[in-house]
C-alpha cells in the first residue's frame, strides 16, 4: 500500500516539476535496498515511517503530504 502511495506521489511531482527534475526512489527499509543509503539507515530507529528524504536529508516523517513535499521541492528548484 505504501509503495502505491509513493508511486502516486511520484506521478504528481513529475507532473508538477517535470520528470527531468525529479529523481524519485521508494526504498523498502526492511530490505537489503536500505544498504544503499547508509546515512539514512542510521536515522531509521528514531524515525516514524514513511520517511521522506530530499537531497539526502530526512525532511518529513509519518506520512506522505503532497503539499508539504511539493513546497519543499519547489523551494529547492528556485
pTM for the full predicted model? 0.88
Q: What is the pLDDT of residue 78?
A: 85
Identify the pLDDT of residue 29.
Answer: 93
In the beta sheet, which residues pair with residue 57? Answer: 54
Question: What nine digits make up the cell of 48?
Answer: 516514524
Identify the domain containing residue 16 by its residue range.
2-77
Query: Cis omega (within 30 of 0) on the bond before 50?
Result: yes
The count of structural domains within the chain is 1
4 confidence band (pLDDT: 50, 70, 90): very high
Taking residues 8-36, report their average pLDDT: 94
Question: How much is the average pLDDT of 61-75?
Answer: 96
The answer to whether residue 1 scores a pLDDT higher than 90 is: no
Query: What is the C-alpha to C-alpha distance for residues 7 and 53, in angstroms, rounded to an integer?
Result: 15
pLDDT of residue 61: 96
Amino acid at each position: 500500500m505504501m509503495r502505491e502511495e509513493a508511486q502516486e506521489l511520484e506521478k504528481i511531482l513529475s507532473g508538477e516539476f517535470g520528470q527531468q527534475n525529479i529523481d524519485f526512489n521508494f526504498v523498502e527499509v526492511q530490505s537489503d535496498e536500505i544498504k544503499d543509503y547508509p546515512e539514512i539507515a542510521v536515522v531509521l530507529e528514531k524515525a516514524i515511517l514513511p520517511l521522506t528524504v530530499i537531497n539526502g536529508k530526512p525532511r518529513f516523517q509519518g506520512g506522505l503530504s503532497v503539499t508539504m513535499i511539493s513546497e519543499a521541492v519547489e523551494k529547492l528548484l528556485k
